[in-house]
Amino acid sequence: MTAQPDQNSTQRTAIVTGAARGIGAAVARRLATDGMAVAVLDLDEAACQSVVDEITGAGGRALAVAVDVSDEAAVTAAVERVATELGAPTVLVNNAGIIRDNMLFKMSVDDWDSVMGVHLRGSFLMTRAAQRYMTEAKYGRIVNLSSTSALGNRGQANYAAAKAGMQGFTKTLALELGKFGVTANAIAPGFIATDMTKATAARMGITFEEFLEGAAKQIPVGRAGQPEDIAATASWLCAEESGFVSGQVIYVAGGPRD
């Protein structure tokens, strides 16, 4: 759809990266339900359209924008487009992510650089581009996706380092941007049923059902997480009422994992 900026609106505009599917799509839908206009960003604009259609079909405002979050020029253009077509973004969820798992001795430099590029460089570029709208508005909510893998996970030296890095990045944003009314927090999910965990099951040579069953046995609440579990946490962290919570890492893992 062609979104129209509403200059008189007090509606907040949120950007969610990697929002064509999985956790990002659930967060985008949830923030729209919460009353925000939502920019649905992902590599492929067409892939974002079904999430945008769902939001607009329910009476909300949304915009699909193609961007590779690790590309500086593309990020600048995407954030400017959101501001022009949807409204100044004052909520940002850095969710886009990839895995390139391998044991350290088999991990290529490309596996390392790709994961750092999407998670760390991508979140840095998106946040740097969006923060000026937040500091101008004297209001902002930034949520970064970390992971329980930040605590260390076999076969994920690259991903674990990136997700631990997201925590340090988040805490520093909280320190630098707090005086502008901007909070920054991280969500560290445990096992969530998405295409990402489906790909892990396939690599392990087991069915997704077997993987889910095995995971549920290890998780104190006795089930795998769903994208909506993360969306609910993001919703609260992006709400006005959470303004005194900043620099925190919330493990959403069905049990204590930090």
The footprint of ligand NAP (CB under 6 A) covers 17-18, 20-24, 42-44, 67-70, 95-98, 118, 122, 145, 147, 189, 191-192, 194-197
DSSP secondary structure letters along 12-59 = -EEEEETTTSHHHHHHHHHHHHTT-EEEEEES-HHHHHHHHHHHHHTT
CA proximity to 140, closest of 107, 172, 173: 173
At position 102, the amino acid (one-letter code) is N
Q: Identify whether the C-beta of residue 77 lies closer than 8 Å to the C-beta of residue 100.
A: no
CA separation for the pair 55, 93 (Å, rounded) = 17
State both tokens at 182: 């901007």
Q: Catalytic annotation on 159?
A: yes
Smallest separation (angstroms) from ligand NAP to the CB of 9: 27
Smallest separation (angstroms) from ligand NAP to the CB of 215: 9
Smallest separation (angstroms) from ligand NAP to the CB of 61: 21
Annotated catalytic residues are: 159
